[in-house]
Structure 1
Amino acid sequence: MDAFLPSTLAVAIAEIGDKTQLLTLFLTARFAQRNAIILGILVATLLNHGLSAWLGAWLVQWVPESWGPWIIGLSFIAVGLWVLIPDKDDEEDTAILKYGAFVATCVLFFIAEIGDKTQVATVILAARYDSLLWVILGTTIGMMLANVPVAYAGSWLMQKIPLQLARWSACGLFVGLGVLTLIMA
């Protein structure tokens, strides 16, 4: 359970202003079915973060025990600094849109998360904490907390959230987790 709160907060804050929020805006502008979009985000995130958490737990088995906290701590700090760099607006493949809101959202979200900050953070969180279930649930809920309001409130909400503050908050959270991991080593 100690993995749940850091996982939720890390992803929820890191997602503010991320390309997946922009993707949510795009999908809500294209499709009227908000619930199908939200369900697609949920399914894609569970799959992506589930695989990522499994990878993190698997990788930590192969790293010498004395190296683990250093690699994890420094990785948290690196992700913290990475969130300060705004995402570039990738062009999405619009051919998938013909399959409807749910399928388009599942595919586009899964692809958008590959190599993204939150996917890397999920790998690191799973390597740091013993409970894959709580990491997956936490990162998934964090993703939903960041994207569900965008699906309903759209561009109005994005104009009200100061992105610099969100980026610096996410940076502070990740760096704090990194420093805490290094201190506990």
Structure 2
Amino acid sequence: MIAMILLSIGIVFLAELGDKSQLMALTFALRYRWWVVLGGIATASAAVHLISVGVGYFLGAALPTRTISLLAALTFLAVGLWTLREHLGSVDDDEPKPPRTSMAPFFVVLSAFLLAELGDRTMFATAALATDYDWVGVWLGSTIGMVVADALAIAIGILVGKHLPEHAIGIGSGLLFLYFGSATMLSTAAPGLSGVAVAAIAAITPALAGAFVFARRGRTRSRTESGGPEAVAVPRSTEARP
């Protein structure tokens, strides 16, 4: 059992290095609390790997991977647009912000990782291991391996987040999710495209969105500094009287 757990940890950990899951974990860590992100990843990993080892390779081969990939792409695009919308009109980095809740981000992370990992190569590798070895050991090892790999990305996100203002983190994470969504959509709709072509074409969407966001923020800041419509006028009735 212990040997199977260690083998599964090593295989999944190496498979996850540089994978989109690590990039997603890093991006979520820039946006949400690290324990919320890690909890969502751990829950999603346990669920996905339980499916793969419980039912085995045949369920993995029969999964509607195209539909799942499209749902994942739409999820990434929605999260990216939602994140950018929160930072579209904000120009003051020091203004009070409402406290973040833990439940909504947890379900965002959970759903995103579930959709991204269903039908992924890691799931098929786990299903293949479960056909020849003890499924409990494979499940535990594969889940731990993925959580450890993504925890490294979360740690990087925490370190990066300490040196960046909150609005830059929000805009950057939103643009990254737009890239993930575009890349997933392209690779699903046009599987014949090379990885370089997918990466290049997918980069157009966050580039255009970033140009729009920064232009909008620049206009908002200019109006505020020049005493435009967003400046607050002081009523005459509040002036001091002799």
Q: Same fold (TM over 0.5)?
A: yes
Q: Could you say what secondary structure the match of 1:100 adopts?
A: helix
- 1:94 Cα deviation after fit: 2.8
- 1:30 Cα deviation after fit: 2.0
Query: Within 5 Å, which residues of 2 pair with 1:15-164?
Result: 15-31=16-32, 33-56=33-56, 59=58, 92-95=76-79, 100-129=104-133, 131-154=134-157
- 1:104 Cα deviation after fit: 0.8
Which residue does the alignment assign to 1:11?
Answer: 12
User: Which amino acid in 2 is paired with 1:127?
Assistant: T
User: Which amino acid in 2 is paired with 1:3?
Assistant: M
Q: Could you say what secondary structure the match of 2:18 adopts?
A: coil
CA contact (8 A) 2:27 2:157 kept: no
Percent identity reads: 32
CA distance in 2, matches of 1:35, 1:116: 24
Q: Deviations over 1:128-177 (max 9, x none)?
A: 21x211111000010011001211223979xxxxxxxxxxxxxxxxxxxx
User: Which amino acid in 2 is paired with 1:136?
Assistant: W
**Quick check: which has more Rg, 1 or 2?**
2
For normalisation by structure 1, the TM-score amounts to: 0.60
CA distance in 1, matches of 2:129, 2:4: 8
Query: Within 5 Å, which residues of 2 pair with 1:160-171?
Result: none
Which ranges of structure 2 fall in alignment gaps of 5 or more residues?
A: 59-72, 84-102, 161-242
CA distance in 2, matches of 1:156, 1:29: 9
Which ranges of structure 1 fall in alignment gaps of 5 or more residues?
A: 60-89, 158-185
CA distance in 1, matches of 2:39, 2:11: 21
How many residues are matched? 125
CA RMSD across the alignment: 2.6
Cα distance 1:37–1:116, how it changes in 2: closer, same or farther (>3 A)?
same
Of the two structures, which has the highest relative contact order with CA contacts closer than 8 Å and spacing of 6 or more? 1
Q: Could you say what secondary structure the match of 1:115 adopts?
A: coil
Q: Deviations over 1:27-81 (max 9, x none)?
A: 11222x1101000000000000000111217x5xxxxxxxxxxxxxxxxxxxxxx
